[in-house]
Amino acid sequence: MTRARPLMPDLCVIGAGAGGLTVAAGAAQMGASVVLVEQGEMGGDCLNVGCVPSKALLAAGAAAQAVRDADRFGIGVPDPEIDFAAVMRHVHGVIAEIAPVDSQERFEGLGVTVLRAPARFLDARTVEAGGQRIRARRVVVATGSRPLVPPIPGLETVPVHTNETIFGLTERPPHLLILGGGPIGCELAQGFRRLGSRVTVVEMGVLLGRDDPELTAVVRARLAAEGVDLREGRRADAVSGQAGAIRLRLAGPDDRTETVAGSHLLVAVGRRPVLEGLDLDAAGIAHTARGITVDDGLRTTNRRVYAIGDVTGGPQFTHVAGFHGASVLKSALFRLPVKISATPIPHVTYTDPELAWVGRSEAEVRAMHGDGMRVLRWPYRDNDRARTDRTTEGLVKVVTDRRGRVLGAGVVGRHGGEVLAPWIVAVHRRLKVAALATMVAPYPTLSETTKRAAGSAFTPGLFSPRTRRLVRLLARLG
């Protein structure tokens, strides 16, 4: 029996998540021939078990919390009744509404050949998927990541949820234990708490430890105020029990132990790249446990192969995968130079209040510029829109060099991810704060916090004794 001739497209994309779909759709619409290989669900983690379901769950929790907080506006309503099964139908309904955009049918309509099978490299130029060989001019690996489950004694003996399974629940967890106080752990802790579950978060270090401590303190206070039990500086060193009755033994820095019990366990301690089965060595592609090794243009050690998104071991955000995908299109199709490190990557934790940051941290800027750096702040409590909405928690925080160039900025507060937008441009374009201080912001909006934070750089000089003397002098001159 003769072997079928290999497919010979311009691009072979392995993985139909955010990054892979960006490459496949863009390349096909620009006239390139594309083969897309996906062994799981089209849309990847973001659509099916990540960004979309989590934000839909958070929206339901926010609606419930709005009812509880209505008395702030003189509106008396009873506590909300939570139909958890209906909430989860809402979550999956949102997934279903978005799914056609990422569907196999849509991509085949764009002219993409879609193979639903595992992929592996046979050699430096050949990929095999479902018995079909593919010899593409360029290959893009976009296989993403999956939840990391730590080797805690006893963990394998109890039912464990990750983000891949937690959205399959149809009954509300009476008491949800969460291992990990990062963005996923904090978001879901607040979401489930607002939907009526008791929630305990166990974190080895500090909550949201990669973010600015001044901003994370605001999130920590809100979670505690809403009744989330926060166990920071505690390490889970043993797990026991059974479905509905799970126990964690926690060890603190002083080696004292305590036990917490709950009905369900969610593990949210990190993610690892999906490399299994790819046979990267056969293609001469260097990799480690952290991911595929790439240069600043996202090329692997095999110059015909790119890797993008979570599988590279960099920042694990959907918008990063999309950015990587667009960058690869420039390089693979148009042979234009790409340098991804030149673009600052913002991130947002979608708690309420939201926490967002872009650029260098205060500690990094202080190490670089010492006393020459400046920190600017403007609190939400001094913003009239925040006052009208009774959402005055939070602040805008900006770090600059001595010349006022914006090197980093963060927001913790209502719609923090949206308020961050002009600061992303400022960091990317290396603008000075004067560019934002002189803009006209509509009143009353949260965007005024941006103008006010930037303007605070000039307040000491503008209202100084020297300025008052100048005003008096000019007045005497008529």
pLDDT at 254: 82
Digit-coded pLDDT (tens) for 11-36: 999 999 999 999 999 999 999 999 99
How would residue 478 be classed by pLDDT, with cut points 50, 70 and 90? confident
Residue 180 known to bind ligand: yes
Residue 310 known to bind ligand: yes
Digit-coded pLDDT (tens) for 130-186: 999 999 999 999 999 999 999 999 999 999 999 999 999 999 999 999 999 999 999
The secondary structure of 227-291 as a DSSP string is T-EEEET-EEEEEEEETTEEEEEEE-TT--EEEEEESEEEE-S-EEE--TTS-GGGGT--EETTE
Digit-coded pLDDT (tens) for 360-389: 999 999 999 999 999 999 999 999 999 999
Residue 339 known to bind ligand: no
SS3 424: helix
Six-digit token pair at 378? 């403007």
Mean pLDDT score, 323-330 = 98
Residue 262 known to bind ligand: no
pLDDT at 71: 96
pLDDT at 15: 98
How would residue 1 be classed by pLDDT, with cut points 50, 70 and 90? very low
Residue 31 known to bind ligand: no
CA pair distance 182, 186, nearest whole angstrom: 6
* Count of C-beta atoms within a 10 Å radius of residue 200: 19
Residue 144 known to bind ligand: yes
Q: What are phi and psi of 449, to 5 degrees?
A: -60, -35
Residue 51 known to bind ligand: no
pLDDT at 253: 85
Six-digit token pair at 61? 């929790």
Mean pLDDT score, 229-235 = 97
pLDDT at 234: 96
Chain position carrying tokens 């990317």: 428
From residue 249, alpha-carbon distances to 157, 173, 417 in Å are 14, 20, 36
CA pair distance 265, 244, nearest whole angstrom: 9
Domains observed in the chain: 11-42+103-146+272-342 (3.50.50.60), 155-269 (3.50.50.60), 353-462 (3.30.390.30)
Residue 187 known to bind ligand: yes
How would residue 328 be classed by pLDDT, with cut points 50, 70 and 90? very high
Determine the residue type at 403: R
From residue 211, alpha-carbon distances to 206, 219, 244, 306 in Å are 10, 11, 34, 30
pLDDT at 9: 98
Mean pLDDT (the chain, rounded): 97
Residue 105 known to bind ligand: no
CB 431 within 8 A of CB 406: yes
Six-digit token pair at 52? 């979309």
Residue 181 known to bind ligand: yes
Q: Give the pairing type, strands 264-267 and 175-179.
A: parallel
CB-based burial label for 337 (10 Å; 0-12, 13-18, 19+): exposed
Six-digit token pair at 391? 């959402």
Torsion of CA 142, 143, 144, 145, to 10 degrees: -160
> Among residues 377, 386, 378, 380, which one has the least CA distance to residue 444?
386
Mean pLDDT score, 401-427 = 98
Digit-coded pLDDT (tens) for 30-62: 999 999 999 999 999 999 999 999 999 999 999
Digit-coded pLDDT (tens) for 272-291: 999 999 999 999 999 999 99
Q: Rg (Cα) of the chain, in Å, rounded?
A: 25
Checking if the pLDDT of 2 tops 70, the result is: no
The secondary structure of 123-161 as a DSSP string is SSS-EEETTEEE--SEEEE---EEE-----TTGGGS--B
Residue 17 known to bind ligand: no
